[in-house]
Amino acid sequence: MTVYDYCHIGHARVMVTFDMVARWLRYSGYELIYVRNITDVDDKIIRRANENGEPFSALTDRMITAMHEDEARLNVLRPDEEPRATDHIAGMHAMIQTLVDKEFAYAPGNGDVYYRVGKFANYGKLSRRRIEELRIGARVEVAEAKEDPLDFVLWKGAKPGEPSWNSPWGAGRPGWHIECSVMSTCCLGDTFDIHGGGPDLVFPHHENEIAQSEAATGKPYANIWMHAGAVRVDGEKMSKSLGNFFSIREVLEKYHPEVVRYLLTASHYRSPINYSEESLREAKGALERFYHALKGLPPAAAAGDQTFVERFTAAMDDDFNTPEACAVLFDMAREINRLREVNIPAAASLAAGMKKLANLLGVLLLESDEFLRAGAEGRIDSIHVEALIAARLNARAEKNWTESDRIRDQLAAMGVVLEDGKGGTTWRLDAE
């Protein structure tokens, strides 16, 4: 995260995706260190802090706190380590000096240090781009002193009004790419297993991370690269200029966090997601089906048909195939509904098993009534609803069916759905 503003729904996709990955790897028995680094100094941060008239560190501290609040509402577990770039300046100096010593980097004397892209033989291997093709149309800004238009900055010479740190090349601040290489290798070693991110980072950011890290260490950087799919809004790319740019907290003002979480989880992590009113209604409908299957069943130990667990495991082991895993949950819900008519203990055990699997995706964490009534607070008066339900029960006891129907219709007009069962009458809010 580059913490100059509130996290948006695209950030939420990445947060939820790698939270799901971390949960599944741990459930599968792997030892895992999950690191999510924070860029807390860059051009956008400095510009926004100057606009606000505040120190850049005050801005980043506030946005990091907001990020933690947003991820908690989406049931995203905190990573094991969350390094900030400004805490690793010395490590950046060391890696840059190593690259200079190996002639993979050069200091032209203006306070900047650049990476020599042409010297790294495999540049472009992640994004499958050829260096000759990249040079077509590349240009050098007037203020830059690059040997090659493709060279990128590792250290930026200090400018008036910007934060800076002393370095062997003069006062300045780090480039974005070197920040991530240093934080990653500091926390995980020269080579680590999985590197994740959003689809917009493949080139040039991740390509540059590979180039500078492998040139510095002489070792492979990351064994596996995973990129979460982009979020599109009503079929269009999310953009502030189009007016379809939504922060996580804006979205959660309107939709239940678990609905948003399910929308972001139910699609395969590599697939683009279309964020729309319709897709959110579908996500809400799916969760309602699950919670209705769980509703009213007694607590029980997770048990039942092992086939469901095996199918769920096979799906998740197949490149985290969450659409297939969710299909297993739907099949379990259908079986629970069948069993509750003939064998309540078996239904309850299978329901516990379904909830356990769903929790690995970060959903079905609530009691059924809590979710099904979600949003009632502030929208309708719950005490008034309960009073009307009691009045309806009295009318039914007196066989006053006209009054009973009138109250049901009144509640329906308020968006309240009644469900009469052996244990009494319960209620939930209808989908908006």
Binding-site residues from annotation: 240
pLDDT > 50? residue 134: yes
* Topology annotation, domain 277-371: Four Helix Bundle (Hemerythrin (Met), subunit A) (1.20.120)
Token couple for 270:
């590599």
Average pLDDT of span 189-217: 97
Average pLDDT of span 168-172: 97
pLDDT for the residue numbered 376: 46
pLDDT in tens, 306-333: 999 999 999 999 999 999 999 999 999 9
Domain residue spans of the chain: 9-232, 277-371, 382-429
pLDDT for the residue numbered 46: 95
pLDDT for the residue numbered 330: 97
* Topology annotation, domain 9-232: Rossmann fold (3.40.50)
Which is more confident, 30 or 370?
Answer: 30
Beta bridge partners of 113: 155
pLDDT in tens, 387-400: 888 888 888 888 99
pLDDT in tens, 61-102: 999 999 999 999 999 999 999 999 999 999 999 999 999 999
pLDDT > 80? residue 142: no
Would you place residue 221 in the very low, low, confident or very high pLDDT band (cuts 50, 70, 90)? very high
The burial of 77, by beta-carbon neighbours within 10 Å (0-12 exposed, 13-18 middle, 19 or more buried), is given as: middle
Q: What percent of the chain has pLDDT over 70?
A: 96
Omega cis (within 30) before 220: no
Average pLDDT of span 219-232: 96
Binding-site residues from annotation for ATP: 240
pLDDT for the residue numbered 378: 45
Would you place residue 380 in the very low, low, confident or very high pLDDT band (cuts 50, 70, 90)? low
**Hey, what long-range contacts does 29-35 have (CB within 8 A, 24 or more apart)?**
32/80, 33/80, 33/81, 33/187, 33/188, 34/79, 34/80, 34/81, 35/79, 35/80, 35/81, 35/82, 35/83, 35/183, 35/184, 35/187, 35/188
Token couple for 47:
């510009």
pLDDT for the residue numbered 244: 79
pTM reported for the whole predicted model: 0.86
pLDDT for the residue numbered 354: 97
